[in-house]
Amino acid sequence: MGLPLRATRASCVRGLIAGAAVTLLLTALGCQQTDGGQRPPGTRSTPAQSSAHTTATSARSPSAVPPHRTAASAPPRTIPSVRDFTPASGPGWRPGDDSRVVADLKGPLADEARMIAAELGLRTTSGPARRGDLSLALAPKVSGGGEAYTLKVAGGRARITGPADAGVFYGTRTVKQALRSGGRLPEGVIHDRPGRAQRGLNLDIARKFFSVGWIEARMREMADLKLNQLALHFSDDQGFRIQSTSHPEIVSSQHLTKDQVRQIVALGQRLHITVIPEIDSPGHLGAVIRAHPQLQLRNAGGTTFQGSVDISNPAAARIVDDLMREYAPLFPGRWWHLGADEYLALTVKDPQASFPGLAAAAKRKYGPSARVQDLVTGWLNDRARLARQLGKRPKAWNDGFFAGGVVKPAKNIEVEYWTGRLKETARPPLEYLKEGRKVVNLNDSFLYYVLGEPGGFTYPTGERIYEDWSPAILRGSTPIADKSLTGPDRILGARLAIWGDRPEAQTPVQVAQGIRLPLAALAQRVWDPGKPPLSWSGFTRLAERLGV
């Protein structure tokens, strides 16, 4: 994605000059832009004021702009689009033979400097910047949070500043994309920041195993789209996919070693992507049950329920807690996903009659009014408590939160809202928001890429996400009407989710291609809260040009 790592300064310049020559030829022939024009100086980049330039126009290099021209620049074409751009008159910036990436190479931005330098074929240096350079620096007073950045192009140089290294890194992604889409950075100032804090991809490696190389390739694509989370669902009925020393008996033959996980996590740290582990329980534990059949949930008639453990048996909790303690150091990020969805004991008409052992355990632990639902909620709260003790912020799927019980789900568990289709017990998202809970959007109608399309699922399209979805649409296609409940402090963000229900339905290559535009569209919608500035056709053309 972006300029190839092997690109040299000379090759970059040759390509840009060629683009400029094409521009001049098209201009002489009277070719017109098809996606809009430029904006007046000093205005914000808005959907009504700016749209895509043709490849030829955006490829004009500074050397092709006559010195006497004073026309204001247009915003760079990137995915996601930049949120605020103040244009200025001038040739902009592009790397030349003497250009450098300037930063404190012993400081916190050393990795960011070396990465963008390698991508642009430049050398790095410390010290003062000069004309032609791209410089990176921390600026604690820049507003917008740790992922915000300012990119200023003036006087033949470009400078990225931000309050933290993550924001500066995202500024380098803008540089990389702007050079690829238009051949230069436009003169002016970009102030950019994300609309939502959590943005990313959910990957099921339990049902369909994906290699380290495949995962790392997706992470590099995600980073260029300014996405910051990769959630790994690595335990399910079909497999348990990470090496374990506490319970090696449950691990599938095809799995990631701990060293491979460390490799993935280390790449994530360089790309500012947090890797979030998920051990789903008390359902979806078929891999554990195969090694420990005594934990299998059975009803009063002896019928088994796939993947669900008997939570009245203390051994079930011990195994899950052992695994959480083992893996916590492996995943140094702030979150832990507890799963908690689809516990099959609660899908029957009368759980108390069907599972008298669970009903009795609920009464013993929580009093005479307690039901099976309360025992399940207590399981969730116990795992959430352990997650917090391990220094993690707990998450759980929305269908693990129940209303009206003796035991209430802990308030500080983030709700990952996905369900609503064919689920009689699914509570509408408005209930969670009115309870004061923080929610992450994984709307299964828009954001679920389920292999084989079982149960009425269809593969999501980038166009539908781009045109019809927003973070406020948590279920179905209707947004939450009360905007006071849908701001970035309440709906924290969104992820696209890949689920391997029918693992042979697509190859890893097909999956990568299938999620390409949906992931790009999601990145646009969670970064910039406004109406996308390009038409869908313009967006797809830009995605092709950028290689995302």
Residues annotated as catalytic (active site), given as ranges: 342
Q: Among the residues of 55-193, which ranges form H helices?
A: 55-58, 110-120, 165-182
Cis peptide before 194 (omega within 30 of 0): no
Which pair of tokens denotes residue 20? 């400029």
Nearest CA-CA partner of 418 in 340, 305, 521, 310: 340
- The answer to whether the beta carbons of residues 442 and 494 sit under 8 Å apart is yes
95 and 122 Cβ atoms separated by less than 8 Å: yes
Return the SS3 of 394.
strand
Q: What is the DSSP letter of 241?
A: -
What's phi and psi for 508, nearest 5 deg?
A: -55, -35
Using left for φ > 0, alpha for ψ between -120 and 50, and beta otherwise, residue 411 falls in alpha
- CA–CA dist 292, 487 (Å, integer): 45
Q: Give the residue among 431, 441, 529, 528 at the shortest CA–CA distance from 493.
A: 441
Q: How large is the greatest C-alpha to C-alpha distance in the chain, in angstroms?
A: 88
The DSSP secondary structure of 245-271, one letter per residue, reads SS-GGG--SS-B-HHHHHHHHHHHHHH
Asked if 494 contacts 199 with a C-beta cutoff of 8 angstroms, the reply is: yes
Q: Are 490 and 505 in contact (CB under 8 A)?
A: no
- Cα separation values, 110 from 2, 164, 362, 518, 541, Å: 20, 13, 55, 32, 33
CB contact at 8 A, 217 and 512: yes
Q: Which are the contacts of 259, defined by CB distance < 8 A and separation ≥ 6?
A: none
Residue 410, C-beta contacts closer than 8 angstroms, at least 6 positions apart: 380, 381, 384, 385, 394
Residues 116, 177: Cα–Cα separation, whole Å: 11
